[in-house]
Amino acid sequence: MLYHKLAKRRRPVLELAVGTGRVARYLAEQNIPVVGLEISPNMLRQARENISKESALVQRNISLVEGDMRDFDLGRKFPLAIVPFSAFQHLLAIENQMRALQCIRHHLAENGHLVIDVFDPKLEMCLPGGGLTREMVGEVVHPETKLRWKIFLDARENIVEQQVLHAEWRFVELASDDQVLRQYYWRLSLRWFYRFEMQHLLERSGFTIVNLWSDYQFSPPAYGKRQVWFVRKA
């Protein structure tokens, strides 16, 4: 995993929007200490439950804190901070994006680094309008239960003037015989960022660009994939 390779020599790690702890648990398994910040009490509750089922090593290496990435004070500095898997895109307003980046920067040690990961928008997905789609956009296998989950984008609406996508997602868990076991529905709004807009935002917030990749295998920038920014505190 990209985060593991970058964190090996930069520990402990501050993870913003830690969610249910998937990335934190992976890093902790590699004996990398992680402090995870999360605004949602429900997410934190699930993260703590997940961590309680892990080894003593993992439990020892993870500390969870309830807080808002736009305004938090942990009273310490970190050599590396990460904001994985589009979590930064939940900040819709420029003011909130700047506040978060400045707060993260304040928590970085001298020459500390930040990894921030957003999707690279496809132009056809940025057109006005939306509506019902019922489109299956992916399928994954749960690492613990080994059961398949199908992911559907049921509906979306683009507010082009604001670069905001409102979407309704459906997650379907399937038994081995393809019978539906359960479904979850999730509504979210994401702000999309064009590549050079994101570069300007990071530099304006006091960071120097070190590298940009299009996936988690360190591939060069590519249209319509990921923007995985690796930046240093200036």
Interval 129-142: pLDDT, tens = 776 677 888 788 87
- Domain match, 77 and 169 both: no
pLDDT digits (tens, 9 = 90+) for 93-132: 999 999 999 999 999 999 999 999 999 998 887 888 776 6
Q: What is the mean pLDDT of residues 66-76?
A: 98
pLDDT of residue 132: 67
- Domain match, 90 and 154 both: no
> Shortest CA distance to 230 belongs to which of 77, 120, 122, 118?
118
- Domain match, 156 and 72 both: no
* Structural domain of 214: 2-121+193-233
Residues in CB range of 94: below 8 A, 6 or more apart: 201
- Domain match, 56 and 159 both: no
- Domain match, 197 and 187 both: no
Q: What is the mean pLDDT of residues 89-94?
A: 97
- Domain match, 69 and 181 both: no
> Model pTM?
0.88
- Domain match, 172 and 116 both: no
**String of b and e for 67-76 (b: at least 16 CB within 10 Å)?**
bebbebeeee
Percent of the chain with pLDDT over 70: 98
CATH of the domain at 27: 3.40.50.150
- Domain match, 135 and 155 both: yes
The half-sphere exposure of 169 on its side-chain side, counting CA atoms within 13 A, is 14
Distance of CA 91 to the CA centre of its chain: 12
Q: How many domains does the chain have?
A: 2
Beta strand pairing call for 129-141 and 148-159? antiparallel
Measured CA distances, 77 to 48, 80, 205, 211, 233 (Å): 24, 9, 17, 22, 12
- Domain match, 183 and 139 both: yes
Give the position of tokens 């199908």.
Answer: 150
- Domain match, 187 and 91 both: no
pLDDT digits (tens, 9 = 90+) for 153-192: 888 889 999 999 999 989 999 998 999 999 999 899 999 9
- Domain match, 103 and 175 both: no
Cβ atoms of 5 and 231 closer than 8 Å: no
